[in-house]
Structure 1
């Protein structure tokens, strides 16, 4: 007779690989969607006569949609189930991506990219949630963090596609933006038939269905750690009750402080490099792309060997130091500027792995999608504001001062993490969400010490 095993402790199998692949495919699409707009804007700007305002609005449009989708669809997923949003989100992305080809005004393109962002935001909420709820704790950090590698590959693919498609002619931007529909449709078709999260079913009192899914995909000897049934319907205000408000604040603020510099800098990378006296060409793109991918892979290694908390705090401080150096170095010291920018790119890509880990491990099943969605929505709102304001900041204050302001945001992230970041490494989802309530408490199951 086989020994009974908890879902948290099962071996990694083909189903884990499939659900991870479907989630990672979504992040590849997300990276691609957010990456192509920078290249498309170079052609759209003269054709549509874009003002700096509309250039910023189009650059931040998908991020605005991500804010709305993460907030709204995360709540819906906790209410109706993960699987429905898991498929619906990519139906929305597929249709809106294809329609970008026919946009003729900034307003039309803005609305379509907001809709794409809504779909991506919903997927961020349920993708991380489903992956966390199916994954064994031994591999959860690596699996959740690995999405950053695929996001980076999507972002890098956007760079190569941008160079190729914008060279096709003045209408190349249409093919470039609409090309995101291809991976979206593939992912949508592959997601059909994905099972519901057994943890969500257990919370809804549907334990027979939950165990049937567990037995089908993991074997009859596998059981599920107790999830107390709850008929209560939670609202977003639940995230601000005494039980959840600290973890809500931490996950939202650290996420915001990481992604504002990321999206602000990389959306307008050509303008920033030009103001630093550096050229952005294919060779530069190739170097930055390699650094992003190497950084994402480095992040997986650091997630395995470092404490979650120590990795996050150390990265915030290092990234802030890089931007301070960039703000102080004169343009005559181009080599040192390149070194600082390369180091910033490498570590930013590495620590971005944690944005898929902390939110999913911090909230219990009953509000996990909503919590992940809220943190994601706040990060995208911050990113949208940063992306919108960056061209204006560079124009009025210069690159050096703007880099200094972004460094201040990273220091705030370090302080927030010092105060509130929990250590969730090596815990079950139930234990991890309990530990998130008291980040200073050292868990019994934890093998590594907090920072």
Structure 2
């Protein structure tokens, strides 16, 4: 007669440990792509003045170079989303980081504004592909109970990468003799490390299942994941995805408009303000890098807060108030032209914090609201729309600050934030605690 001790058999312990190690590795190599995105955008600010003087570029070209990566994301994300839905998450997962590594390394050798523009555009295309494959892949592997937190972790990495780049870039450009080319090119070291870390990663089982490759999907679930978490997958139909599905029904249109529009309105003002924070804050009597670093730090705090709360209180509960607060704070900055510098700084910091909350949700809604067959193309489309806004804001802000003034520029930003608040108020769904199949039901019904 055997006695049950309650202990897990050694073989099962080993399997559980393997699965935990895999999940940690998956998270690291996926959020690493978002860290790179934040890094390449944050590193421009500290070197901007030196780069501009060295290349003798105009404000318009300056804004275009700053926006180039964002334009590239707008190009790469729909292409990557379509390719990821057609050929799988895994191939694109490797192609995008390889392209990024090569393009990033080219920054060491740029000698003209035109070449720098092309290089930053290529890097943006690679990041855009990462958006449309990284978030879907993480959503498709993540356990329901912590899916929101894991998707939010990608935004912690983004804001963390932006802040890290800004701090390091400021130190390097002011305290060392490193060239601005080398400082921009430091993203190459992170990219190569990620490329090596992604070797040997499996394909998404949900994508395989939707392709009719059910045995392969089940084998991956059994080897790497907790099978009960994928019980909804076994009841899913095999469907061929097309771009037209994004607008095929009333609910599909609502979901597509919300995801892409909300994302646009959250990032457009923030990217512009954060990229040119030194210039913006100087208009309000605040000189030096401390305010700029503070903006990024408060945004990161907002992301961490959202990551902690999103699986506890829900997505919509965070989206609506954070959007309205972002609008109110930008509007106050714009209307209160004679406000003391400290009040303006507090309002900017407050905006950065609540926008960090909203920015985190833009990485969660697409993976949950789009069904598997178009999760890539839907995320890619929404990312492209958002980056049109981010690129436009980044390109136009330096021009608007000169021609219209700081007050009017902030009121325009507030107007964009208002649209985002209205979209959240009337269209934001609640997907907390739902399986991916349940969350996506609203898309087609």
TM-score (ref. length: structure 1): 0.90
Q: Secondary structure at the match of 1:385?
A: helix
- For residue 433 of structure 2, the aligned residue among 423, 426, 438 is 426
* Deviation digits for residues 263-296 of structure 1 (CA, Å, limit 9, x no counterpart): 0101111110111111123x33453343233222
Deviations 1:165-220 (A, max 9, x none): 22367762111111000011001100011100000000000001000101111367
Other structure's SS at 1:386 match: helix
Q: Is the 8 A contact 1:78 1:368 kept in 2?
A: yes
| Greater shift in the superposed pair: 395-404 or 413-422 | 413-422
Distance 1:129 1:168 in 2: 41
Q: Paired residue for 1:101?
A: 108
* Aligned mate of 1:275, from 277, 280, 283: 283
* Structure 1: runs of 5+ lacking an equivalent: 3-11, 439-451
Greater shift after overlay, 107-116 or 140-149?
A: 140-149
Residues in 2 aligned to 1:34 and 1:177: alpha-carbon distance in whole angstroms:
10
Shift in Å at residue 381 of structure 1? Answer: 1.2
Mapped partners of 2:385, 2:177: distance in 1: 36
Q: Secondary structure at the match of 2:200?
A: coil
CA distance in 2, matches of 1:175, 1:221: 48
Alignment pair present for 1:114 and 2:116: no
Q: 1:404 to 1:194 in 2, by over 3 A?
A: same
8 Å contact kept, 2:81–2:379: yes
* Alignment correspondent of 1:449: none
Deviations 1:53-106 (A, max 9, x none): 101110100000001110111110000000011111100111100101111111
Secondary structure, counterpart of 1:244 in structure 2: helix
Q: CA deviation at 1:14?
A: 3.0
Match of 2:70 in 1: 63
User: C-alpha distance in 2, partners of 1:423/1:228?
Assistant: 21
17 and 170 in structure 1: CA distance in 2 versus 1, 3 angstrom threshold: closer
* Residue 87 (structure 2) aligns with: 80
1:250 match: 258
Q: TM-score, normalised by structure 2?
A: 0.91
Aligned residues: 427
Q: Which residue of the partner structure matches residue 263 of structure 1?
A: 271
- How far, CA to CA, are the matches of 1:365 and 1:294 in structure 2? 31
C-alpha distance in 1 between matches for 2:95 and 2:388: 22
Q: Partners of 1:106 and 1:30 in 2: how far apart?
A: 21
Q: Which residue of 1 aligns with 2:52?
A: 45
1:349 maps onto 2:364 in alignment? no
Find the counterpart in structure 1 of residue 14 from structure 2: none
TM-superposed CA distance for 1:395, in Å, is 1.1
1:175 aligns with 2:182: yes
Q: Which residue of 2 aligns with 1:442?
A: none
- Per the alignment, residue 160 of structure 1 pairs with 167
Q: Secondary structure at the match of 1:424?
A: coil
Q: Report the Cα offset of residue 305 of structure 1.
A: 3.1
Q: Does 1:398 align with 2:405?
A: yes
Tell me by how many angstroms 1:21 deviates.
1.3
- For residue 340 of structure 1, report the CA deviation from its aligned partner: 0.8
Contact 2:68 2:391 in 1 (8 A): yes
Q: Which residue number corresponds to residue 4 of structure 2?
A: none
Q: Distance in 1 between matches of 2:435 and 2:274?
A: 36
Listed as ranges, the matches of 1:19-418 within 5 Å are 19-167=26-174, 172-218=179-225, 224=231, 225-226=233-234, 228=236, 230=238, 232=240, 234-242=241-249, 244-281=252-289, 283-331=290-338, 333-418=340-425
RMSD of aligned Cα (Å)? 2.0
Give the deviation of 1:229 after TM superposition: 5.0
